[in-house]
Amino acid sequence: MSHITLIRHGQANTQARDEASYDRLSDLGHQQAAWLGDHLRASGSHHPRVYCGTLTRHIETAASMGFANPVQDARLNEMEYFTLAEAMRDQHGLPIPEEREGFVDHLPKVFAAWAAGDIAEPYESWSQFETRTRQALEEIAAGEGPALVVTSGGLISMALRQAMGLDTAGMARIALAVMNTSMHRLFPIGGHWSPVLFNAVPHLEAPDRHFAQTHL
């Protein structure tokens, strides 16, 4: 098994309240990604393989990092959170938050209902999301050399859930914590994934870049 570094995309359209509108980087998102690419090159990081989902924000993040032709795999795409949130609103009367603070309570409720099968006819089942995450990362891990994977916070939290045996509430806390362009490394130890890096943003640690440590 080769080790994998998962990277969350740069800041997207923070004003969006639907999937299509959210799926593009903000100017800050492009800058975050460029700084990360500079950091990886300056530190001599060796990643002969680069992957990303097929979402615009994934592809734009990889490009701004300096990777123009990553391998694109739709299994690395984010869950459709806004679609699930609309279903929770329509089926269970759960309002969709208007600000970040509201998502701290909202996201765990969505995850719990989705995992329990309490959302009728979701666009994708919780089990399908689990399976595609596992299969995509297992296939990447079977390749030669370390890999970078540009994806989204929900998929990163699912990967860590699988690696650490987290319950759904624990996975939700991970998802809420993941910062834009943060790095998360999974390393094979004893035939199993172990996280050896979580939510690292060394490219944003300088005082004049603290403003760029974003979650949304």
**52-87 residue pLDDT tens:** 999 999 999 999 999 999 999 999 999 999 999 999
117: left (phi over 0), alpha (psi -120 to 50) or beta: left
Q: What is the DSSP string of 122-190?
A: -SS-HHHHHHHHHHHHHHHHTSSS-EEEEE-HHHHHHHHHHHHT--HHHHHHHHHHPPTT-EEEEEEET
> pTM for this structure?
0.94
Whether residue 28 contacts residue 11, with contact meaning beta carbons closer than 8 Å, is answered with yes
Q: Is the pLDDT of residue 197 over 80?
A: yes
pLDDT tens column, 104-134: 999 999 999 999 999 999 999 999 999 999 9
**Which of 112, 132, 130, 213 minimizes the C-alpha distance to 172?**
112
pLDDT, tens only, 158-185: 999 999 999 999 999 999 999 999 999 9
Residues 76 and 136: their CA atoms lie apart, in Å, by: 7
Which pLDDT belongs to residue 192?
87
Tokens of 21: 């509108």
37 touches 57 (CB < 8 A): no
16 has a pLDDT exceeding 80: no
Burial string for 153-173 (b: 16+ CB within 10 Å, else e) reads bbbbbbbbbbbeebeeeebbe
CA atoms of 180 and 32, how far apart (whole Å): 8
CA dihedral for 99, 102, 104, 107, sign (positive or negative): negative
Residue 24 has pLDDT above 70, yes or no: yes
